[in-house]
Amino acid sequence: MFGPDAVGGFSATVGNPPWDIVKPNSQEFFSDYDPKFRSHKKQEANRVSKKLMGANPAIAEKWEEYCDGFVEQSAYFKEPLSYSALGKGDINTFKLFLEQFFTVLSDGGRMGIVVPSGIYNDQGCQPLRERFFNQSRIEFLYCFENRWPTVFTAVDGRFKFVTFGTQKGGETDRFKCAFMEHDPERLPVIDAIALEMSVKQVKKFSPDTLSVMEFKSQRDIYVTAQIYGDRPLLGEKLEDTWNVKFNTELHMTNDSHLFVDPEDVTNTHEYEWLWEGKQIWLLSDGFAEPVRLVSANDIAGLRSVRFTRVAYRALAASTNERTLVATVIPPGAPVGHSINVCPLKPEECCFLSGVMTSFVVDWIIRNKVTTNLTIFYLNQLPIARKTVNEFFEQSITARVGRLISGNEKFIQVWESVFCKDWQSPDFWYPSSAPLHTYGPADEQEIRQRLRDEAKNITSEWGSHCGVYDRLPDRRDTGDRAQLRAEIDAYVAHLYGLSRDDFAYILGTFPVLKRKEIKAFGEFMSKRKCLEEYDRLPPILSGGIVSGQALESTT
């Protein structure tokens, strides 16, 4: 019904619109002519469709008309007078319905709609989010996985959908939300115990796109706000420090003609091994053996290959053992597009990768992503680039330097980042914080040995510069586990986290916990990180108080 005032408009709009994309769907079209068409893989589907059209010109004509229809639809939808909040990317029909449902409401009218989860985190839905935040009072946003039970049988069980309600008029200050729910029958319970998030927090966590992060508890929101603080985001361009821009280098399909099988090469000195995501782990390479070569001549024009680069796996999941898997890649090594890279000075690469691989930053990104860690998400992270205390940067850089420098590929990186201060035992373990008052005896010996051997570290790379302790399943232990725990402790202090909040973050990695209990009989990473966190305050007390923000806003 229309509202009581002369302006008109509906009092309510309710629905579950189609979740399609406005573009030709070959599977949908050609299935009318080949019942098995949906089962064909891409290349086979292309071959079958061409054969069908070649044998029957009428099918080719209908396909052309079908495609032309989508061109006309797209042109109409992109007219500003038709739709003004479509955003970038594909034209999703749910976005069209969202905008239209809202447009036809009277002031004060309510909308209740079921849509894909892209409404709160897709970059292309940003204009709609702006409209709802600024021109309505959002009442709830509840996200469900399509399983346990399956609600929409024609949709993949991992697909997420949202029940979304708002009232037209005014603006949103706070709204109720819930994520990773499963059974819509529980809506009354979900509504009663829902989280509450402010639009101010949304803007702090994602100022460019207003994406809403997925939180499991009100404490998650509080701790995230503490970490973000007033810090600039990684994608922001700053004037008085180094800036970050991630990109890809070689595409595994488009550039496949450049890749060479090692068995076909007689002189490998003229080639470089291609790095892929499966080969890297946290501050290390060699997680898997390389399988492809690229001619040095073919990558000569790739400018970024000449530099040391921070690199991270593009394919990741929030439910994995770790999500943000990053390391440093030496000059001259080409990478496939399963790795995103950023060329920087070697010391900047070491510092940035150290912060990126910390539990604190990993915890933040796990609340943002599902299965694809895009550059867009990296740019939203509050990662420090400049601190108020150079000791932090040197402490993290030195430990990363030792962790990555396990082979001669890193000679140039090591010799660039090495600092003579690293040869001082007190640089690694100042006497103000005793080494023998915590942890098992074997770990006390590890710390003492790392301290005593500092004098043997040289500016010229050698195998003694790296650390190597790992289990057969490539799980870090010994020296490597010790240095990584120290990096995590430094980063926790860098972000001003209390011990309780740091412990809370460490407890949110269930797969890692399960694997470490199996390997070590305990959740070793959590214990070691907290022990190192407790050791640092006396070291940091020179003008810096533990638990306070330690990073400048620039």
Residue 457: name the closest of 494, 407, 402 by CA: 402
Cα-based torsion angle of the residue sequence 43, 47, 49, 55 in order, rounded to the nearest 10 degrees: 180
- At 177, give phi and psi (nearest 5°): -150, 160
State the pLDDT at residue 197: 97
At residue 310, the 3 state secondary structure works out as: strand
Integer Cα distance of 247 and 184 in angstroms: 40
Integer Cα distance of 230 and 227 in angstroms: 9
- Cis before residue 334, ω within 30 degrees of 0? no
Integer Cα distance of 270 and 267 in angstroms: 6
Distance of CA 287 to the CA centre of its chain: 20
Cα-based angle 86, 90, 93 (whole degrees, multiple of 5)? 65
Q: Which domains does the chain have, with CATH numbers?
A: 10-20+92-214 (3.40.50.150), 26-77 (no CATH), 256-540 (no CATH)
State the pLDDT at residue 390: 83
Integer Cα distance of 439 and 321 in angstroms: 24
State the pLDDT at residue 544: 40
Residue 548 token pair: 């306070």
Query: What separation, in Å, do the N-terminal and C-terminal C-alpha atoms of the chain show?
Result: 54
From the number of C-beta atoms within 10 Å of its C-beta (0-12, 13-18, 19+), residue 493 rates as buried
The CB-side HSE value for 226 (13 A sphere, CA atoms) comes to 21
Describe the strand order of the beta sheet including 259-260 as a list of residue ranges: 259-260, 293-295, 271-273
Integer Cα distance of 210 and 119 in angstroms: 11
Give the position of tokens 């070569």: 293
Provide the residue type at 97 as one letter: F
Provide the residue type at 149 as one letter: P
State the pLDDT at residue 476: 96
- Using the Cα atoms of residue 177, residue 178, residue 182 and residue 184 in order, give the sign of their dihedral: negative
Q: Return the axis-axis angle of helices 510-520 and 524-535, rounded to nearest 10°.
A: 100
CB 488 within 8 A of CB 529: yes
State the pLDDT at residue 388: 62
Integer Cα distance of 81 and 485 in angstroms: 57
Three-state helix/strand/coil letters over 211-224: CCCCCCCHHHHHHH
Integer Cα distance of 10 and 20 in angstroms: 25
State the pLDDT at residue 545: 39
Residue 80 token pair: 């500003």
Cα-based torsion angle of the residue sequence 472, 474, 477, 483 in order, rounded to the nearest 10 degrees: 160
CB-based burial, 5-22: b 16+ in 10 Å, e otherwise: eeeebbeebeeebebeeb
Provide the residue type at 12 as one letter: A
State the pLDDT at residue 552: 36
Residue 272: name the closest of 343, 335, 342 by CA: 335
State the pLDDT at residue 546: 38
Neighbour count for residue 134 (Cβ, 10 Å): 11
Provide the pairing of β-strand 259-260 with 293-295.
antiparallel
CB 487 within 8 A of CB 396: yes
Mean pLDDT (10-residue bins), the chain, 554 residues: 62 94 93 92 92 94 95 93 88 95 95 95 93 98 94 86 97 97 95 97 93 95 95 91 95 92 86 95 94 92 93 93 97 95 97 97 91 89 80 94 96 97 95 89 96 96 96 94 98 96 98 97 98 94 45 36
- Cis before residue 149, ω within 30 degrees of 0? yes
State the pLDDT at residue 187: 96
Neighbour count for residue 429 (Cβ, 10 Å): 19
Quickly list H helices, 418-509: 425-428, 441-452, 478-494, 499-506
Give the position of tokens 């040995």: 449
**Is the whole model's pTM more than 0.85, yes or no?**
yes
Residue 526: name the closest of 436, 442, 439 by CA: 439
